[in-house]
Amino acid sequence: QLHGNETPLRCKEIKVKFEIPIIKGIGIKNKLDLIKANQDYENLCDILLLDSPSSILPGGNGEIFNWNIIKNCEPSKKWMLAGGLNINNIEKAVKISNPPAIDISSGVEISKGIKDPEMIKNFITKCRNI
């Protein structure tokens, strides 16, 4: 997963050099950002990880993503939903955006960077029952 300021060219270089799939985290503010991400990374990354934009951290910051951006405007690439997901909002997020996959980080942490196994287990159980 790449969550920095990697340009499309840099993503391609990494993919070619290391011969690995690339998941590119992209902060999405609006539908135009989504369209641009599709165009810029279409043939360079394997999966787009759609996240909330942040000036603090490039990912895992707990800021909730506006799922309505994706509604009726799905990316053309394979994609994953991220951005402030937790046990209390995952059902709504899935119903609005219908993601093929999700990425969770801060939503299962007891403190910054410390994951809670019980929270992870409960989150997975909730997801399986949606």
Helix (H, G, I), strand (E, B) or coil at 115: strand
Sketch the domain layout of the chain as residue ranges: 8-128
Q: What is the pLDDT of residue 58?
A: 53
Concatenating the DSSP letter of every residue in 34-83 gives HHHHHHHHTTT-SEEEEE---SS-SS-S-PPP-GGGTTT---SSEEEE-S
**pLDDT band of 57, cuts 50, 70, 90:** low
Token pair listed for 77: 């690439």
Distance CA 60, CA 3 (A): 10
pLDDT over 90 (residue 62): no
- At residue 18, the pLDDT reads 97
> What are the pLDDT digits (tens) for 15-32?
999 999 999 999 999 999
pTM: 0.85
| CATH superfamily assigned to domain 8-128 | Aldolase class I (3.20.20.70)
Segment 80-116, tens digit of pLDDT: 999 999 999 999 999 999 999 999 999 999 998 899 9
Percent of the residues in the chain that have a pLDDT greater than 90, as a whole number: 69
Neighbours of 94 (CB within 10 A): 17
pLDDT at 42: 84
Residue 9's closest CA among 49, 41, 37? Answer: 41
> 63 pLDDT band (50/70/90 cuts)?
confident
- CB-CB neighbours of 65 under 10 Å: 22
Q: Is 18 helix (H, G, I), strand (E, B) or coil?
A: helix
Q: What per-residue confidence (pLDDT) applies to 65?
A: 78
For residue 58 the two structure tokens come to 């490039």
pLDDT of the residue at 59: 52
| DSSP conformation class of 20 | -
